[in-house]
Chain A
């Protein structure tokens, strides 16, 4: 029986964001936007969804009078990401 892939992660932009954050301690919003090639509005919405799911922590502050948003993956997010990758492997193994 296949485990259903986490719908929060099984979307292109959210998965890209989680894949970036799993590899770093923390990253600024602008860095994520650059690397994912997304628009600020779209990215904000997707990060909010990840935040609502408890997968990322978002810290908003000011740096040199400009707003600065920093994102960091949570322990819940790490577990969800690991489960997602395991599930992916099961699907791929079955497909061979």
Chain B
């Protein structure tokens, strides 16, 4: 391209259009993060379902702690991808912000789920109130320890938000379908017990992230963008 070549007005406009078009095709999502989280959450959901179904435990180790461990490879993936990246588009920047906020929100809900029941019980206790539950069949009254009802449903709403946003912005159908499926699964989860909530969790993670991630990976290896 010549440095001082003077352009006609038409040529200038054509050049601007051509360059902007070149940028559009320059970003390729590898799908690695989506595969990682789809696998981890999919596995944790299935494992929790199996635990509830077949009544076994893993002792002190809660299988969902794997999500904390998965942060390590995620950091490595992020660093490697940012090193390889030669350009940062506004779209990519916005998507990064959405997924970062999603990550913070997931841990905020986990914190809420773990802290609020105990705090609620303490607040009642400080007011001299003890919560009790009565078994209608036997008439036995026992202490009631508060918990967050169907917290899995809240997670499912959270899963849908960044997935659907990414799918719509990138015009990537597998994630759009995954996002809507997640809302459907959320509605179902409002009527199911913990055991089936875990199964729905697993289904959501696989349809939201694992399958779209594998499709992205395949496109990435072929050198196509989403």
Contacts and interface: CB of A to CB of B under 8 A. Distances in A.
A30 B1 CA distance: 15
Interface in A12-29: 12-16, 19-20, 22-28
Interface in A37-61: 37-38, 42, 45-46
Contacts of A13: 1-3, 5
Interface string B76-104: 00000001001111101100000000000
Contacts of B66: none
A27 B6 CA distance: 25
Nearest to B92: A25
A24 B89 contact: yes
Nearest to B93: A25
B7 interface: yes
A16 B15 contact: yes
B16 A19 contact: yes
Given A24-B88, A30-B86, A12 B23 contact: no
Contacts of A63: 83
Contacts, number: 90
**Interface range on chain B (Cβ under 8 Å from partner):** 20 to 34
Contact of B19 (A11, A19, A45): A19
Interface of B is mostly: helix
B90 A24 contact: yes
Interface of A is mostly: helix
B12 A27 contact: no
Contacts of B2: 12-13
Contacts of B5: 11-13
Contacts of A38: 1
B197 to A, nearest CB: 39
A34 B86 CA distance: 11
Contacts of A5: 12
A42 B4 CA distance: 10
B1 A27 contact: no
B208 to A, nearest CB: 27
Given A24-B23, A25-B93, A31-B86, A19 B7 contact: no
6 contacts: A11-B7, A19-B15, A23-B24, A25-B92, A35-B22, A92-B13
Question: Top 4 A-B pairs ranked by shortest CB distance?
Answer: A19-B19, A31-B86, A23-B23, A12-B5
Interface of B: 1-7, 9-10, 12-13, 15-16, 18-20, 22-24, 26, 83, 86-90, 92-93
